[in-house]
């Protein structure tokens, strides 16, 4: 059982051809959102590992990041945003999910509208089984953590001009 759940939602400019460099700058809070969207970082007050000044718990983005990410289509990215907004990262365990599903999906579409087709790309470190496209309304089967925690899953949204990080961590 996980003791704590943390989430990060942040977006910012894309300044480099290699968007991994932009992800690093965004996570280190070296850039600000040109659209002035409010970033959300949920952590417990006094928790040193989640100090707002630190990159932690993320590992420094680099070439290893790319090898642990899988590209997914927009439809799967929408589902993944819904899944990581639930208590268990598993919509099958959510009470009244089918009643709440339309509103959750609309919120995901609003966030992803910032990353327009046809050039937007979406990446995750979550394992989603063998479906094509991946169905994140089925339970995640695992992940390739990008943090110091044993379990983290999220979505990187990349457009020609911007980058978004939507992440959930479970700490034991």
For residue 125, give the nearest of 98, 151, 89, 97 by alpha carbon.
151
Confidence of residue 55 (pLDDT cuts 50, 70, 90): very low
| Predicted structure pTM score | 0.84
Tens-place pLDDT, residues 20-46 = 888 877 777 777 767 666 555 544 555
In whole angstroms, what is the distance from residue 103 CA to residue 119 CA?
A: 26
Burial class (CB in 10 A: 0-12, 13-18, 19+), 137: middle
**Dist CA 57 CA 80 (whole Å):** 21
d(CA 154, CA 114): 17
Maximum Cα–Cα distance across the chain: 43
Examine the pLDDT at 71 and tell me if it is beyond 90.
Answer: yes
Using DSSP bridges, classify how beta strands 121-124 and 126-127 pair: parallel, antiparallel or unpaired.
unpaired
Instruction: Tell me the per-residue pLDDT of 106-150, one tens digit each, with 9 for 90 and over.
Output: 999 999 999 999 999 999 998 876 678 888 888 888 888 877 777
Q: How far is residue 20's CA from residue 41's CA, in Å, rounded to a whole number?
A: 20
What CA–CA distance (Å, rounded) separates 65 from 41? 21
């Amino acid at each position: 059982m996980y003791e704590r759940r943390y989430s990060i939602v942040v977006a910012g400019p894309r300044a480099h051809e290699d968007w991994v460099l932009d992800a690093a700058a965004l996570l280190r809070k070296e850039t600000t959102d040109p659209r002035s969207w409010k970033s959300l970082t949920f952590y417990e007050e006094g928790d040193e590992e989640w100090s707002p000044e630190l990159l932690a718990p993320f590992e420094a983005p680099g070439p290893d990041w790319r090898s642990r990410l899988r590209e997914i289509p927009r439809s799967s990215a929408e589902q993944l945003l819904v899944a990581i907004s639930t208590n268990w990262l598993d919509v099958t365990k959510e009470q009244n999910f089918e009643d709440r599903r339309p509103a959750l999906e609309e919120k995901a579409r609003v966030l992803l509208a910032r990353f327009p087709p046809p050039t937007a790309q979406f990446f995750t470190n979550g394992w989603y089984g063998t479906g094509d496209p991946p169905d994140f309304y089925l339970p995640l089967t695992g992940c390739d953590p990008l943090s110091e925690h044993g379990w983290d899953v999220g979505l990187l949204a990349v457009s020609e001009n911007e980058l978004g990080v939507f992440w959930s961590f479970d700490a034991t």
